[in-house]
Amino acid sequence: MSDFILPDIGEGIVECELVKWLVSEGDVIEEDQPVAEVMTDKALVEIPAPYKGRVTKLYHQEGEIAKVHAPLFELVAEDEADAGSAGKESESKPAPAAAVAPEAASRATEPDGKLQGESAPAAGSGATEDFILPDIGEGIIECEVVEWRVAEGDEIEEDQPVVDVMTDKAMVEITAPKAGRVTRLYYQQQEIAKVHEPLFAFEPRDQAGGETTPAAAKPAPETAAGQAPKADRSQAAARGKGIPASPAVRRLVREHELNLADVPGSGKDGRVLKADILAHLDEGARTATAEEGTEAPARPAARRGGETPREVRVEPIRGVKAAMAKHMATAAATIPHFIYSEEIDVTDLLALRARLKPEAEQRGSRLTLMPFIMKAMALAVQEYPVLNSRLNEDASEIHYQPECNIGMAVDSKAGLIVPNIKGVERLTLLGIADEVARLTEAARSGRVSQEDLKGGTITISNIGALGGTYAAPIINAPEVAIVALGRTQALPRFDANGQVVQRSIMTVSWAGDHRIIDGGTIARFCNLWKGYLESPQTMLLQMG
C-alpha cells in the first residue's frame, strides 16, 4: 500500500484543481489507466495510474486544490491486495498465543535506528504523513531552516506557520497543509533542507484515532452574558473544515476572526472565494454602522422607470488568466523590450498558397499562411541564432537552442496559452500545417499537453486574425523575441515602372530583448525573413 504522490505537471506549477475523479474508492485499476483530471493554470491534465492495483482512498474531493508532491490517492498493488485478502481469511481463525509476534518486532526500523512512529503515542495513534518541501522558487533545490515555529508534539492548524526557511532569494514561511499534531522534525535549525524531500512528519487530526481536544473534553465554563463559551467557538471553527476554500481565503478568514461556515460560497460546490469574504466583511460593516445609529449616506436618486441600481460583478482571476497576468507582468517589468515594425508584401505568397491549397486538402491538411511564415522564420533563425536563444537567470550567459520550437499564442476559452511546434526546421509545410491544426484545436478545448507547452524558443501572435495592424507584444519569457502579425490589407504600391498597383500588405511588429538583441540584428533578421515570404520560391534553396 502506498500513496500516489502528485508529480510535477508543468514548469513552476505547485498546485492544481481536482476537476474530476475517473475512479472511485475500491475500484481496481490498470497501469496507465486515467485516474483523475486536474486543471493547472495552463491546461487540463490527465493523471494515469503508476501500476495495477486497487484504489483504497481518494485524498481530495472534486473542486478542491491538490498540491504537487503531496499524496493524491492511496493505491494497493495487485499482489498486496491478494495478500490482504488472504490475511483477512487467516484472521477469522483463532491463532495460538505463541504465534503472535511482539509489537516491537512487527515494526520496521528507520535508517537512523528509530522505530517508525516512535515519536507518536502507541495507543490510539493514526497514520503519520510526511510534509514534502515543495518548490519554493524557480531553480531552487535547497534552503536553510532558519527557525521552527513548532516543536514535536505540538498541535497545528491548517495554514499555521510551521517553519521559516531561507533560500538564495528570500525568507519563505512554510505553512501546515492540514490540522494535526507534529510527530517529528527532520532538520535542526541552520541545517540545509532539500526541495521534494520530507521536512516534518505529522498526524492529521482526522486520523487521530478518536482523540479529543482539551476544550472538548472539559465542560465549558460559565461565561458572561453575550459571550460564547470556548467549546462553542471551537465547534464553530470546526464547521469550516469541510468547506472548499483556498489557503489564501482561509488565511483571510483567520485574519478577520471569521468562521468559514458563516460565509456563503459562490464558487463551484459551495467553494468560498475571496470576493465572498470581502462581501461578508462589507455587509458586517454596514450592519455595525446601522446599529451604532450612524447616519447612513444619502441614497442615490431613484432611477427612471423604477429600475433598481445594478451591482458591480466581481470575477476572480484564476487558472490560465491568473498565470498569464503574473507571467506578463514579470516579463514587462524585467525585460527591456525593443520594438521593430515592418511591412511585408505577401501577394506572391498568397498566390502560391492558392495553388497548393487544393492538393493539401486532398491529403487532409488545411494550408494557411502560418506554415509558410513559420518555415521562413526557422530558416532565418539559422542565420541569426540569437533570436532563438535564452538568457540565464542572472543574464550572464546566452543559451543557443538546438531546435526552432515556434510557439503560437492561442486565445482559448480559459485564457491565452502558447503551445509550440517542435523542430520546425525539420518539418515539411504539410507537417507544420497539421501541427498548427492539432494545437489550435487542443488549445481551444483546454486539453493541451504539458509537453506542447514546454520548450518554446520564439513566438508568433496572430492579432491580424481579429483585426489590427501594429502592436507592441510582450516577450514570452524566457524567450528573447516575439512577433505580432497584423491583418493583411489590399493597398496601393508603386511597381518597378512607377505605376500604382494593388498589393497585399501584411504588417508585423517585433519585440526583442534589448539585453542581447540590438536594432541592427533584428532589422537584418527581419529582412531575411521578409525576403523568404515576399519571394517564397527562394525558400527551396535552403530546405534540407
At 268 the pLDDT is 61
Mean pLDDT, residues 60-75 taken together = 89
Given a cut of 90, whether residue 386 has pLDDT beyond it is: yes
At 293 the pLDDT is 53
Between the two ends of the chain, the Cα-to-Cα distance in Å is 54
Between CA 389 and CA 391 the distance in angstroms is: 7
Q: Write out pLDDT tens, residues 217-257.
A: 333 333 333 343 333 434 444 445 457 666 567 767 777 87
Cell 472534486 appears where? 62
At 46 the pLDDT is 82
Mean of all residue pLDDT scores within the chain: 79
DSSP assignment of 420-447 equals EETTGGGS-HHHHHHHHHHHHHHHHTT-
At 163 the pLDDT is 92
- What confidence tier does 198 reach under pLDDT thresholds 50, 70, 90? very high
Q: Write out pLDDT tens, residues 326-338.
A: 888 888 999 999 9
CA 108 centroid distance within chain:
37
Higher-confidence residue of 67 and 509: namely 509
Examine the residue annotation and report whether 206 is marked as an active-site residue of this protein.
no
At 288 the pLDDT is 60
HSE, side-chain direction, 13 A CA sphere, residue 125: 17
Given a cut of 50, whether residue 445 has pLDDT beyond it is: yes
Q: Which residues, at least 6 apart from 112, have a Cβ–Cβ distance to it below 8 Å?
A: none
At 209 the pLDDT is 47
Q: Which three cell numbers stand for residue 176?
A: 501546515
Mean pLDDT, residues 343-365 taken together = 95
Between CA 344 and CA 347 the distance in angstroms is: 9
- What confidence tier does 495 reach under pLDDT thresholds 50, 70, 90? very high
Lowest mean pLDDT: which of 154-158, 302-306, 370-374, 536-540? 302-306
Q: Which of 280, 327, 337, 514 is catalytic?
A: 514
At 265 the pLDDT is 80
Mean pLDDT, residues 396-414 taken together = 90
HSE, side-chain direction, 13 A CA sphere, residue 194: 3
At 237 the pLDDT is 41
User: Contact, 428 vs 333, CB < 8 A?
Assistant: no
- What confidence tier does 42 reach under pLDDT thresholds 50, 70, 90? low
DSSP structure class, residue 52: S
Lowest mean pLDDT: which of 27-41, 313-327, 358-372? 313-327
At 433 the pLDDT is 95
Mean pLDDT, residues 172-198 taken together = 89
Of 154, 212, 160, 148, the C-alpha closest to 181 is 154
At 88 the pLDDT is 44
Higher-confidence residue of 7 and 94: namely 7
Examine the residue annotation and report whether 518 is marked as an active-site residue of this protein.
yes
**Segment (H or E) for 201:** strand 198-204
CA distances from 437 to 132, 370, 410, 440 (A): 40, 10, 11, 5
Higher-confidence residue of 106 and 410: namely 410
Cell 471553527 appears where? 237
At 146 the pLDDT is 84
Given a cut of 80, whether residue 300 has pLDDT beyond it is: no
Burial class (CB in 10 A: 0-12, 13-18, 19+), 349: buried
DSSP structure class, residue 305: G
Mean pLDDT, residues 251-268 taken together = 78
Mean pLDDT, residues 187-192 taken together = 89
Mean pLDDT, residues 427-441 taken together = 94
Helix, strand, coil shares of the chain as percentages rounded to 5?
30, 25, 45
pTM of the model: 0.50
Mean pLDDT, residues 108-127 taken together = 41
Given a cut of 60, whether residue 141 has pLDDT beyond it is: yes
3-class DSSP state of 141? coil
Mean pLDDT, residues 409-421 taken together = 83
User: Contact, 279 vs 266, CB < 8 A?
Assistant: no
Given a cut of 80, whether residue 34 has pLDDT beyond it is: yes
Compute φ and ψ for 108, nearest 5 degrees: -75, 150
Q: Which of 8, 79, 282, 518 is catalytic?
A: 518
At 346 the pLDDT is 96
Between CA 452 and CA 373 the distance in angstroms is: 20
